[in-house]
Structure 1
Amino acid sequence: MKKRIVYFDVLKVITCFMVIMIHVISRNWYVLDLKSNEFTFLTILDSICRCAVPIYLMISGAIFLNEDKNIKIKDMFRKYILNIFLIYLFWNMIYSILNIIVYGNKIINVKVLKDIFISTILGNGIFHLKFLVTIIGFYLCVPFVRCITKKENKNLLQYLIILLFIFTCTPSILTVFNINLKYPTLFTGFTLYFILGYYLNTFEINKKYRYIVYIIGLISLIITPILTINYSILNNIHSQRFFEYGSFNIYLYSASLFLLFKNIFNKKEETKLLNSLSKLYFGIYLIHGLVLGLLMKYNVFNLNMNLTIKVFFISLIVFIISLITSFILSKIPFVKRLIYVK
C-alpha cells in the first residue's frame, strides 16, 4: 500500500476545523461594531483561518500534478470529475430540501424538486458547496497543466508562479494604496495555488530561503487583520477584501504554512487516528453547514459567554457532530461514495 503523506493529513484535519470556524465567525462578524473589541478579535481569528481553502487547493495540486501519479483522461472523468459532480448535486439537493422544510413554507413536490435540480445544475448551489465546482474545473485542466509541471521544468515553474502571483495579486496590492484596478486579472487565482502546491511539495527549498518564506508568511498573517480593520473602518463597511483568496497576503501566508508543515511533519510516521480523521475530512466539510444551520436555527448556542470563546466552542461542537455523522455515513456502502473524494 502506498505510504500516505503525513503532513497532507495533518493539514486536512486542521484546515477542516478552520473552515468551520470561518463559517461560525461569519454568523456574527457582519453585525459587529467596526470599532469594537469583538470585531477585532474575530477578524484576527478569521485571518488565521483564511489559509484553509488555499491549502486544500495546494494539496490537490501536489497530488494531481505529480508526474509519478499516472492519470488517464478517461479515469479523470470517470473517477474524479463524475464523483465530485454527483457529490455536488446530491448535497445541494439535500441542503435545498432541508432549507425549504426548516425555513420555508413550501410543500415538497415534483415541481419544487425540479426547480432545485435545475438551480443546482446552473451553479446556484449552497455557499460552501460551490467550492466543488472549482475542484471540477481544476480536474478538467489537470491533463493540460501536467504538461508543464515536470521536474525538469523547475525554472519554467518558478517563472509561471511569479507571473501568476503578479497578475492575480496586483489588485489587492493596489487596494492597500487606495487604487482600484478597473480591468480583470489575466489568470485565475486558484491556478496559482494548484501549481504552488505541486512546486513546494516536489522541490526542496534551501533552509535559508525557507526561513525567509516563514517570516514573509508571518508578516502577511499579521497585516491581514490590520488591513481588514482599517479598510472596513475607512469605507464604513464590513469588508473582506483582504480575506479573498486572490489577495497577496493570503497567498503568502498560505504558502508559508504549507511549507512549514511539510518540513515539520514530512518525516513523521502516520498514525491510525490521523489516517482515519483525514479520510473523514471531506464528509465533515460537506455536512458541517447543515449541522451549523440547524443548531443556530433552534438557538442551541444562545449562550451567555465571551464571543471569542463562544466561536471556539460552537466550532468544536459542530466539528465533533459532523465528524461522528461522517463516520457513521462512511460505514454505509452506497452513502460512503457521497462523502468521500477519491
Structure 2
Amino acid sequence: MLNMEVNNNVANQSDKIRFEYITLLRVIGTFAVIGIHVVCTPVTLYGTIYSTIDLRLSVFITNLLRMFAVPLFIMISGALFLNPEKDFDLSKFLKKNVVRILTVLIIFSFIFCLLESYFNERIISISVIKIVLRNLIEGKSWAHMWFLYMLPGLYFSVPLLRPFVKNATDKEFNFTLLILFIFLSFIPTLEKKFNIKTGITIPITSIYFLYFLLGSAISHRNLFDSLKTCVTLILLPSLFILIELFIPNTIIIEDAVLKNTNASSIAAISLSIGIFSLIRNFYRNQCSVVIKFISENSFGIYLLHTIPLNICFKVLKFSPEKINLYILLLICYLFSFYFSITVTVLLRKIPIVKKYL
C-alpha cells in the first residue's frame, strides 16, 4: 500500500514537471504580446518621425514577436484540449471554456469599444452606444481582441478533432499536418510571391487550425524533438526578418509590419514550432513561483494590457518627440505589465470574476 502511494506521488510529480513547459510558454507568449503593442503603437502614431535605424529595429522586434506570440497560445490550447490521454466531457468543456470566452468577449469588447468611442468623441450618448454595439458585433474592438473573437470557433472544433487526434496513426497525423501546411501557408506564400491564384483549395481557411493540431502533435507525439532542429527553426526565420527589413517596399509603417511575416507565413510557422518544441522537449525544471504567478494571471494580463497603453498615448499624449524612444518604450512596457497584472489580481479576488479571469 505504501509503495502504491509512493508510486502515485512520483507519477503526479512527474506529470506536474511534464506540463511545466505549458506554464513557461504561456508567460513567454504574454510578454511577447505586450511587447508587440508597446513597440508597434508609437510606430503607428509617430513612425514618420523615426530615424531609419529606430524604425527598422522597431519593425524587427514587432514582427519577430508577432510571428510567435499568438501561435504559442493556440498551440498551448491544442496541447491541452487535444490531449488523447485525457477524458473529454463535452458539456463540461462548453460550460468551462466556450461560455467563459463568450462572456469575457462580450463584456470586455463592449468596454473597449466604449472607451475608444469616448477617446474619439469625448462624449457618451445613445448614438455612441449604438455605434459601440455595432462595433462589438462586427468585431471592431481594440486590436488584441481579435484573438477572443477567433477562440470560440476554434473551441467548437475540439469535439470534431479529438477522435482524429486519439485514433490517427503518426503517419496519418503527419500527413494531415503536411496538407494543412501546404494549403494554408506554402501555396498562399507562392500566390503572393508570383501574383497567381491556384485553382485547387482546401475547405479550411484558418492557419490557426494548423497551429492547434501542431500543439497536440508536438506535445503528445514528440515531433521536432531534436535540439538542432529546434534551433534551426528559430534562427532561419529570424534571419529572414533581418533580410526583409532591407528589401524595398516591405515595411508597412502604419502597422509596423513586414508584408511577408504574418502568422500564415512559412517563417512564422517555423519560428513558432521552434520555440514551442524547444521548451516542450528540453525544459525539465519546475517553474519558479514568479513564473507560475504570471502564468495564472496571463489571461487577465492579455485582456487588460492595452488599457495603460491607450492612457499613455491617447490621454497623456506620450510621443518620441517628448521622451527618448527607448525610455518611452521601457516606461510603457512596465506600466502595461504592472497595471494589467495588478488589476487582474484585484479582480480575481472577486469570486464570480475569478471564474472568468
TM-score by length of 2: 0.84
Structure of larger gyration radius: 2
Deviation (angstroms), 1:229: 4.4
Which residue among 14, 23, 26 is the counterpart of 1:9?
A: 23
The verdict on how the C-alpha distance between 1:206 and 1:143 changes in structure 2, with shifts beyond 3 A counting, is: closer
CA shift at 1:132, angstroms?
0.8
Residue 217 (structure 1) aligned to one of 217, 230, 234: 234
Change (3 A) 1:26 1:183: farther
Write the letter of the residue equivalent to 1:3: K
Q: What fraction of aligned residue pairs are identical, expressed as a percent?
A: 25
1:167 to 177, 183, 186: 183
5 Å-filtered alignment, 1:287-298, equals 287-298=304-315
Comparing 58-67 with 98-107, greater Cα deviation is found at: 98-107
Deviation at 1:146, TM superposition (A): 1.0
Aligned to 1:119: 135
Structure 1 residues 95 and 213 mapped into 2: Cα distance closer, same or farther (>3 Å)? same
Task: Tell me, yes or no, if the aligned pair for 2:237 and 2:271 is still in contact at 8 Å.
Answer: yes
Label 1:98 to 1:195 Cα distance change in 2 as closer, same or farther (>3 A). same
**Would the aligned equivalents of 1:47 and 1:221 in 2 still touch at CA under 8 Å?**
no
- CA displacement, residues 259-309 of structure 1 (integer Å, 9 cap, x when unaligned): 1111332x2124332222101011011001112101212336446554345
Residues of 2 paired with 1:206 and 1:45: CA distance?
25
Q: Does 1:100 align with 2:114?
A: no
1:139 aligns with 2:152: no
Aligned residues between the structures: 335
Shift of 1:206: 6.8
Of the three residues 32, 56, 74, the one matched with 1:18 is 32
Question: Alpha-carbon deviation of 1:93?
Answer: 1.1
Structure 2's unaligned 5+ residue stretches are 1-11
Are residue 191 (structure 1) and residue 209 (structure 2) matched? yes
Query: CA shift at 1:233, angstroms?
Result: 5.1
1:256 CA drift (Å): 0.3
Of 303, 315, 328, the residue aligned with 1:286 is 303
Cα deviation, 1:198-233, whole Å, max 9, x if unaligned, reads 1111123475x4412421321112102422542535
Q: 1:113 to 1:64 in 2, by over 3 A?
A: same
Tell me, in whole angstroms, the C-alpha distance in 2 between the residues paired with 1:282 and 1:181: 40
For residues 48-67 of structure 1, the aligned pairs below 5 Å read: 48-50=64-66, 51-67=68-84
Match of 1:90 in 2: 107
**Shift in Å at residue 160 of structure 1?**
1.0
Aligned residue number for residue 38 of structure 1: 54
**Residues 228 and 242, structure 1, Cα contact 8 Å, conserved in 2:** no
Identify the residue that residue 174 of structure 2 maps to in structure 1.
Answer: 158
Give the Cα separation in 2 of the matches to 1:171 and 1:241: 16
Distance in structure 2 (CA, Å) of the matches to 1:37 and 1:224: 15
| 1:254 matches 2:269 | no
* Matches of 1:301 and 1:158, distance apart in 2: 49
1:224–1:77 Cα change, 3 Å: same
Amino acid at match of 1:198: S
SS at match of 1:55: helix
